[in-house]
Amino acid sequence: MQAHDGMYIDGAWRPAAGPGTIEVTNPADGSLIATVPAGDADDVAAAVAAARAAFPAWSTTPPSERAARLGALHAALEARREEIAETVTAELGSPIGFSHAVHAAVPVAVCAGYAELAAGYAFEEKIGNSRVFHEPVGVVGAITPWNYPLHQIVAKVAPALAAGCTVVLKPAEDTPLVAQLFAEAVHEAGVPAGVFNLVTGLGPVAGQALAEHEDVDLVSFTGSTAVGRRIGAAAGGAVKNVALELGGKSANVILPGADLARAVKVGVANVMANSGQTCSAWTRMLVDAAHYDEAVRLAAAAVAKYVPGDPADEKTRVGPVVNAKQRDRVSGYIARGVEDGAELVAGGPDAPEGFERGCYVRPTVFAGVTPDMAIAQEEIFGPVLSILKYEDAEDALRIANGTVYGLAGAVWSEDEEEAVAFARRLETGQVDINGGRFNPMAPFGGYKQSGVGRELGKYGLGEYLQTKSLQL
């Protein structure tokens, strides 16, 4: 695949400061698909300087003009949907159908949403004798993961630009190609030089330099709780704004009387999508004792349809995980589940037959999982579902809320009001009721250790604004 041998800084592709490189591989077969430069602290410093220099003009550009640039960015991404899908499939390994439907379509929709929001947002309001202005926070350092690589970029960059902030992006080392493609689209959209800058590189080098740079006003991070915790601590020490989108261990609560077949089928699909590499995945299915055995049987039947395959094939529903380290981590968790006494209903720790070469994991379902097991507490980030039994609604609530995380969840009931009432008691940022579909304008973010702050829609825009009140 085509890759730029440089950093996108101040409106142009520039040579990296150092000689380091990142090899981008296809996890389906381990083949090398491209090499990109690994930036260091000097590249980060150059990018932050460009973003700082661009800030005065961009922050005072009328919102309608910023909206017009976002509209042009939307058009540029829309025109490249095919290329986006192919790139994400190559570097992440997600099935091409899913790459089209989600990895390409969702960021295009989010970008369109922000073009509209920027044009109509009330950047000024009146409160009593005060005029309150919502002003851009400044230079944003955005650090993104590989699991929804373009969505996570757009969910930060689009609202930042809408707000009038300027940005330096450090994307995940596994998925730098779609980030370079995004930089090309920004360039085509006529976004002024320095407003958006891209530094590819390694987390502990370029990522850390960006998070700790004194001229960055806000760090927006999506990724693991371990790294997020450190970024939050550093930002706190420097009295910087910080937004953290971290892990999850979300519960799919099926209440007695719900459409069990549908709840289980959608629940299994939710976990298997993107090979389970979704922070909001419903990785714990909670079923009452009377329906438990039937749910396990339905889950086993549903997961049998997820046959590992070549992600480039339109018919494939589950591909590899992103890299060998993740494969080993996920299969380690599967082995741990067996050791801890959970019952393997489907899958297992070994690679699927015929796929020993790529980074494949067998789609796995565990029954007989108890809330204290590691597979019921820790984020696995692979195609692994744990089914737990509950006694009554209070027990279900206790189990659902019994992890350090609180990102997402689902509730199924024949009575929508009962489901809503139950969802209100869940310690989590978003809950899908009876299969309610993803809304790219609804606030997305975590309770508890799943994060700080919200992304998407007007709440996502608000993260990039600070208020000033003038008393008249």
Residues that bind ligand NAP (CB under 6 A): 143-147, 170, 172-174, 202-204, 207-208, 211, 222-224, 227, 230-231, 245-247, 279, 329, 379, 381
Least Cβ distance, residue 101 to Mg ion (angstroms): 21
Tokens at 133, concatenated? 């202005």
The residue with its CB nearest to Mg ion is 174
Write out the binding residues for Mg ion, residues 158-177 only, by CB under 5 A.
174
Write out the binding residues for Mg ion, residues 306-335 only, by CB under 5 A.
none
**Residue 320 or 457: which CB sits closer to Mg ion?**
320
Of Mg ion, ligand NAP, none, which one does residue 224 interact with (CB within 5 to 8 Å by kind)?
A: ligand NAP
Of Mg ion, ligand NAP, none, which one does residue 381 interact with (CB within 5 to 8 Å by kind)?
A: ligand NAP
Rounding to the nearest 10 degrees, give the CA dihedral for residues 326, 330, 331, 335: 150
Burial pattern 301-329, b for ≥16 Cβ within 10 A else e, equals ebbeebebbbbbeeebbbbbbbbeebbee
Does residue 379 bind Mg ion (CB under 5 A)?
no
| Active-site residue identified among 83, 86, 173, 245 | 245
Of Mg ion, ligand NAP, none, which one does residue 197 interact with (CB within 5 to 8 Å by kind)?
A: none
Tell which residue, 341, 353, 333, has the closest CA to residue 283. 333
Of ligand NAP, Mg ion, none, which one does residue 25 interact with (CB within 5 to 8 Å by kind)?
A: Mg ion
Of ligand NAP, Mg ion, none, which one does residue 172 interact with (CB within 5 to 8 Å by kind)?
A: ligand NAP
One-letter amino acid at 54 equals A
Cβ atoms of residues 453 and 443 within 8 Å: no
Using the contact rule CB under 5 A, the part of the chain among 21-29, 338-346, 387-395, 426-434 near Mg ion is 21-29
Of ligand NAP, Mg ion, none, which one does residue 30 interact with (CB within 5 to 8 Å by kind)?
A: none
Write out the binding residues for Mg ion, residues 355-374 only, by CB under 5 A.
none
Residue 168, CA distances (Å) to 47, 221, 382 in order: 6, 12, 30
**Residue 174 or 463: which CB sits closer to ligand NAP?**
174
The residue with its CB nearest to ligand NAP is 203
**Residue 252 or 413: which CB sits closer to ligand NAP?**
252
Least Cβ distance, residue 22 to ligand NAP (angstroms): 8
**Residue 22 or 227: which CB sits closer to Mg ion?**
22
Least Cβ distance, residue 207 to ligand NAP (angstroms): 2
**Residue 25 or 87: which CB sits closer to Mg ion?**
25
391 an active-site residue?
no
Active-site positions read 245
Which residues contact Mg ion by CB under 5 A? 25, 174
